[in-house]
Structures are given as structure tokens and as C-alpha cells.
A and B are shown apart, each in its own frame.
Chain A
Amino acid sequence: MARQTNISSQTLCVLALLLESRRSWHYGYAISQHTGLKSGTLYPILVRLAEQGWLDTQWSVPEQPGRPPRHTYRLTKEGALAARARLADASAVRLTVPPRRAPVGG
């Protein structure tokens, strides 16, 4: 029986962002700004996704001469399918969690 990995909320944030515009390439700093993740959290997630085959990576040609090439990322087909499934699972879990009761006598 296949074992499913638990995905952290940070990873889900990254997946959601990459899934929004699946065909375009994303820069690391832009992902960090959109998700609010620090570099020390973001890069291990990107490495893991790339190793799972969910992420395509590529060094982009710099737009201006003299600038270093930048690493860019986008979801693979498999990654997009998995991301949709995981995000759906996560939202289902959120919906099934019962809402907290309001304090009585307040």
C-alpha cells in the first residue's frame, strides 16, 4: 500500500503559488516574497520538490549583461497533479475541523 507523505503548510503555500501560474518560471526571491518564507525554509522545500520530480529547475539567461544567471522553478505535470491533490486534501481537512465554540457568559 502506498504511503502518503505529510506536507507542511509552508510546502502547501509554495505549491499553491507555483500552481497559480504553472507554465511560467518563478524566481526564488519572488516565491519568498509571495509566501513570506525565509530563504532557510524555502530552499529545502524547493530541493525536496525537485528531488521528488515535482519541480523543474533551470538557470535563466540574465536580462542584462554582467548579471549572474538565476535559478528558476516551475511545477512538472506530475507536480501539478500532486499539488492539486494535496491542496484539495488540505482544504478538505480544514473544512472538516469543527469550529471552536464561542466562550459562554462573555
Chain B
Amino acid sequence: MLHLLENAAEYASTRISMWLASRVDPSRREWIDAMRAELDVIEGGWRKLTWVIGGVSLARRWHSAPSRSHDPASAALAALALCGRVAVTFIFAQAVFIGIELAVRILYGNVIHSSGKHFLLMTAVSAVVVLVDRARSGRSQIAASGRDRTPTGDTHEETS
């Protein structure tokens, strides 16, 4: 069983490394190839997978021009991230609503009915909030990239 998992991890690492190579900007391709070449000497599927997963953050930094329509993996990731943000906003909104309801109950008695009835409304409000926030951040990112374009996106070292 463990052997099978090791093989699966090794296979996944190979596939991910190929995906990384296809995703990065050609000017950074050499570095991704360097990272991929090390896979050949790393022993064990899990270690290989860990090594390659580190490269995913590099692919994010060094990705080539966005091609959402041609890249199903990144489109799926973006959709997943959006769902996650909606869920987090929903939980936050629900918590606020419950807090308000409790406060009102304590102060004035049972005025507001169960928050479960507002589930759909809350989800819709959360989705709208996230989409508006996303649109705003997208607009500000476009404005920022127009002002200051850095090829690597490396902001690790700052000048003092």
C-alpha cells in the first residue's frame, strides 16, 4: 500500500513539474528546469512531491501572461478560491447576524426569528460582497501593474 502511495506521489510530482514548466514565463524557464532536474536525484516519491510543491509558488511568481480560457487548472483553482472566499464571508456575515440577534434577544426579547431562514439571503449577500471586493482588487491590481511593473515579483529584499 505504501509502495503504491509512493508511486502515486512520484507520478504526481512528475505531472506537476511538467505543468510548472508549461506555466512559467520563458525568461524563467531555466530556473524551473533547474528545479525539475533535481527530481532525478531525489529519492522517494514524497520527497519529490514536496520538492515540486515548492515550485508551485515559483510558478505563481513567474507565471507567463494569464490565459484563463486555455488553462483549465488555473481556472479551476480560481473558481475554488472564489468559492472559499464566499464561504468565509458567509461565515463571517452569519456570525455577525447571530451576534446581532443575540443582542436583540437579550435587550428586547425574542424579536428576530431564527437566522436559518436567512440562509439564502446571507449567501447572496456574501457572494455580492466578495464579487464587489474582487472587482475592486482587480481594478487596483491593474492600476498598480500599470504604474510599477516588476518582472519577478520578488519583494523579498528591501532597501534601507
Contacts and interface: CB of A to CB of B under 8 A. Distances in A.
A71 B76 CA distance: 33
Interface residues of B, number: 28
B58 A40 contact: yes
Contacts, number: 80
Interface residues of A, number: 28
Contacts of A5: 157-160
Given A6-B158, A8-B156, A44-B154, A39 B37 contact: no
Contacts of B156: 8, 11, 44-45, 48
B42 interface: yes
Interface in B29-73: 30-31, 33-35, 37-38, 40-42, 50-58, 61
A72 B160 CA distance: 31
13 contacts: A4-B160, A5-B160, A6-B160, A7-B157, A8-B156, A32-B51, A38-B50, A38-B54, A40-B53, A41-B54, A45-B156, A67-B40, A70-B34
Interface of A: 3-8, 11, 27-29, 32, 38-48, 57, 67-71
Interface of B: 28, 30-31, 33-35, 37-38, 40-42, 50-58, 61, 152, 154, 156-160
